[in-house]
Amino acid sequence: MISADGRPILITGGAGFIGANLADRLAGTGQRVIVYDNLSAEGARRNLRWLRDRHGDLIEAAIADIREAGSLYEAVRGVRHVVHLAAQRPVTTNLRAPGEDFEVNARGTLNVLVALRAVPQRPSLLFASTSNVYGALDDLMLEEHGDRYVPVDERVRDSGIDEQRSVDLSSPYGCSKGCADEYVLDHARTYGLRAAVFRLSCVYGPHQHGTDDDSWVTHFVTRALSRRPITIHGDGRQVRDALFVDDVIDAMSAAERLFDSAPSAITGRAFNIGGGPENAISARDLLRRIAACTGEPIEPVFGPWRAGDQRYYVSDVGRFSRLTGWRPSVRLSAGLGRLHRALAPLRDVGSLPRPAASITEELGAS
């Protein structure tokens, strides 16, 4: 993803979990990166300091909000590619103030699109959406198999859920992200922007701060290392496909190359990007694996199911794989070990990310 003409890549939410890992990868190859972030998220300031310490002048910080249309226009001018990761994620805020949720996730994304349309040289755009746009998947027939749910439909069991699944928006977060998702796809069709959507599922890895509004994998590991209670809403048999952050960045790199080499193949399309069936795991099974890593037993607290919770979501990544050859390369066992090794030393020096009181977001939200 090194620009031949020297133009930088802009990452909105670039000091967040995925953004910081992406910026690190890009700058590590000599690519100039603009990190556009309001630094409101847990750990964002720490991530930005880390990036600057590692890469110096290759990291340019634009401390601003995506609700600031003027700031966005200035940031977009002169860049060749935009990865739009900035979002309002805490579900407690979503429920308490859905208007703010709309302004950040939906209106903020529209601001990005308007800025792209306004500049003389239009950059390509990759938008990070979520598997939550598919709703609770209540029509998916499931059966219990040990400590997990499995689909009755053999095709879904073997491959996961593909992009033919209709969008079914629920919860303020799902509605606002789904609205943004559709705006991006429509701007590709209507205004000719080179834009595509990744619907991400359960991303985890280093520089994620393990709160209840992050991936449940990192959240569980952080709380286990902190010796804090872990709450599971439901019976723990719910299944997600975990995706290590390095694999997400590989997919983003493949998408960026397509925008340059074959834009018609990717423009205006949405892709499910997750760990796939090979990396699917139930909450109960995950806790057993974490206990094996830490050497300490984990006894979770079980709470009631919440409206909109998905009992099963696993991504079918075939559409993007057929287009680019990409598939997840970091198996869950290896990724979980890498995450534990990254976090355990922080516990020893008292620098673990602040653990949250309980999971307050739908399990597996990306």
pLDDT digits (tens, 9 = 90+) for 256-301: 999 999 999 999 999 999 999 999 999 999 999 999 998 999 999 9
Residue 188, class by beta-carbon neighbours within 10 Å (0-12 exposed, 13-18 middle, 19+ buried)?
buried
Question: What's the pLDDT at 209?
Answer: 77
Per-residue pLDDT for 184 more than 60?
Answer: yes
Beta bridge partners of 50: none
76 alpha-carbon distance from chain centroid: 22
Least reliable range by pLDDT among 18-22, 208-212, 241-245: 208-212
Least reliable range by pLDDT among 94-108, 162-176, 329-343: 94-108
* CA separation for the pair 262, 109 (Å, rounded): 24
List Cα–Cα distances, 256 to 26, 102, 324, in angstroms: 12, 28, 11
Question: What's the pLDDT at 171?
Answer: 80
Handedness of CA 111, 113, 117, 119 (dihedral sign): positive
**How would residue 214 be classed by pLDDT, with cut points 50, 70 and 90?**
low
278 alpha-carbon distance from chain centroid: 19
**Which candidate, 133, 170, 139, places its Cα nearest to that of 271?**
133
Per-residue pLDDT for 323 more than 50?
Answer: yes
- Taking residues 334-361, what's their average pLDDT? 67
Alpha helices in 120-244 (DSSP H): 154-159, 171-191, 216-225
pLDDT digits (tens, 9 = 90+) for 1-60: 555 578 999 999 999 999 999 999 999 999 999 999 999 988 899 999 999 999 999 999
Tokens of residue 284, six digits: 């109960």
The CATH number corresponding to 87-348 among 3.40.50.720, 2.60.120.10, 3.40.50.450, 3.20.20.70 equals: 3.40.50.720
Least reliable range by pLDDT among 53-67, 199-213, 268-282, 352-366: 352-366
250 alpha-carbon distance from chain centroid: 13
Residues forming the active site: 173
Residues 33/11, Cβ–Cβ less than 8 Å: yes
* CA separation for the pair 284, 226 (Å, rounded): 19
* CA separation for the pair 312, 213 (Å, rounded): 19
Question: What's the pLDDT at 361?
Answer: 33
Question: What's the pLDDT at 349?
Answer: 45
The set of residues, in sequence order, having a beta carbon less than 8 Å from that of 138 and lying 6+ positions away, is: none
Q: What is the Rg, in whole angstroms, of the alpha carbon atoms belonging to the chain?
A: 19
